[in-house]
Amino acid sequence: MTLSGDAPTPDTRSSPASSSAQPASAKAVSASWTWVPIRSLGPRHRERIAAHLLALGPHDRYLRFGYPATDAQMSKYVDMLDFEHDEVFGIFSRRLELIAMAHLAHATAKPGATTPSMSEFGVSVLPNARGRGFGRRLFEHAMLHARNRGVQTLFIHALSENVAMLKIARNAGATVERDGSETEAFLKLPPDTLASHVGEMVEQQAAEFDYRLKRHAHQVNGMFDVLAEVKSSLAKTSRIAEE
Ligand SMILES: CC(C)(COP(=O)(O)OP(=O)(O)OC[C@H]1O[C@@H](n2cnc3c(N)ncnc32)[C@H](O)[C@@H]1OP(=O)(O)O)[C@@H](O)C(=O)NCCC(=O)NCCS
């Protein structure tokens, strides 16, 4: 599926990427590295994805989708997410709130090809989690994911005013083409290697482990809340009995 109702699918565009885009620079992957757990999302995360998107204000929705998406349009987008064909991943807070998410929409593979040649990247980070490098990290994660699936070019459709998104693309070495209020960025990906596959596998397992720990902590906190409630109602009951 496309990332915006209006934008054409990546495979219908004539991309200059094969001739003029620079290879992904090492800058994006090496700058100030601290591990951020990025987890793949599936159908069971639809509710959390919807909560994340619905928390975005009108301007953010406009930047993300290219139009001021209504709650109903975003719910429809979430319902239509195809987790088999595309890839969706996110960053969870300790309270298991989805604070950042990205959608990597793969173009349909051309006849005779086993992998799509291009994938479109879309991302959103909740306002209170911005400026901490999550947008960049999700982009790097998408780069790794896409190249390991044989994708040659990553495509970003952004509004020209979207400085942060275009900075992420430029920093990674993308060719950026402005057309009035809209801008397209094409990033040529290097081919996959054994190291890129091992890197993805390790990252996925570590992120899964981190998610389980957070879920466990969340459940334990929930139990403490219930215990506190039981304790306070017992205390109340015994006070009433004493009176
Ligand atoms: C675009 C967006 C995902 C960036 O997320 P983020 O986590 O804040 O971005 P990062 O912290 O990784 O910053 C990436 C770069 O942009 C820069 N940047 C971040 N916010 C910026 C801003 N408001 N103005 C200018 N530069 C900004 C950062 O300094 C960084 O550049 P650097 O690495 O050269 O220092 C976030 O602003 C967002 O969700 N916006 C609404 C939805 C949207 O626009 N999606 C993109 C369209 S698909």
**pLDDT, tens digit (0-9, with 9 covering 90-100), for 160-188:** 999 999 999 999 999 999 999 999 999 99
Residue nearest to atom 18 of ligand 1 (CA): 164
Give me ligand 1 centre to Cα 161, in Å.
12
Identify the CA nearest to 66 among candidates 124, 115, 139, 114: 124
Three-class SS of residue 118?
A: strand
pLDDT tens-digit series, residues 121-147: 999 999 999 999 999 999 999 999 999
Put residue 157 in one of left, alpha, beta given phi > 0 → left and psi -120 to 50 → alpha. beta
Q: Which residues, 6 or more positions from 154, have their beta carbon under 8 angstroms from its beta carbon?
A: 118, 119, 120, 121, 142, 143, 146, 174, 186, 187, 189
pLDDT tens-digit series, residues 60-70: 999 999 999 99
Ligand 1 neighbour 183 (Cβ under 6 A)? no
pLDDT at 33: 63
The mean pLDDT of 35-48, rounded to a whole number, is 94
Atom of ligand 1 nearest to the CA of 60: 41
Q: Contact at 8 Å (CB) between 99 and 106?
A: no
Which amino acid does the sequence have at 208? E
Q: Contact at 8 Å (CB) between 126 and 100?
A: yes
Ligand 1 neighbour 2 (Cβ under 6 A)? no
- Ligand 1 mutation pick, 63, 74, 137, max ligand atoms within 8 A of CB: 63
| pTM of the predicted structure, to 2 decimals | 0.80
Residue 21 vs residue 102, higher pLDDT? 102
In the block, residue with structure tokens 């009176």:
243
The CATH architecture of the domain made up of 10-242 is 3-Layer(aba) Sandwich (3.40)
Q: Contact at 8 Å (CB) between 172 and 138?
A: no
Q: Which residues, 6 or more positions from 10, have their beta carbon under 8 angstroms from its beta carbon?
A: 105, 107, 118, 119, 120, 153, 155
pLDDT at 32: 55
Q: Say how far residue 238 (Cα) sits from the centre of its chain.
A: 51
Distance in angstroms (rounded) separating the CA atoms of residues 166 and 57: 20
Give me ligand 1 centre to Cα 124, in Å.
9
In the block, residue with structure tokens 């086993």:
114
Ligand 1 neighbour 64 (Cβ under 6 A)? yes
Ligand 1 neighbour 4 (Cβ under 6 A)? no
Ligand 1 neighbour 151 (Cβ under 6 A)? no
Atom of ligand 1 nearest to the CA of 56: 41
User: What dihedral do alpha carbons 105, 108, 114, 115 form, nearest 10°?
Assistant: -30
- For the cut 70, the answer to whether the pLDDT of residue 73 exceeds it is yes
Atom of ligand 1 nearest to the CA of 157: 48
Ligand 1 neighbour 131 (Cβ under 6 A)? yes
Locate the domains of the chain by residue range: 10-242
In the block, residue with structure tokens 């479109």:
120
Q: Which residues, 6 or more positions from 52, have their beta carbon under 8 angstroms from its beta carbon?
A: 90, 97, 98, 99, 101, 124, 126
Assign 29 a pLDDT band (cuts: 50, 70, 90): very low
Q: Contact at 8 Å (CB) between 123 and 143?
A: no
Residue nearest to atom 17 of ligand 1 (CA): 164
Identify the CA nearest to 50 among candidates 84, 90, 16, 94: 90
Ligand 1 neighbour 125 (Cβ under 6 A)? yes
Ligand 1 neighbour 109 (Cβ under 6 A)? no
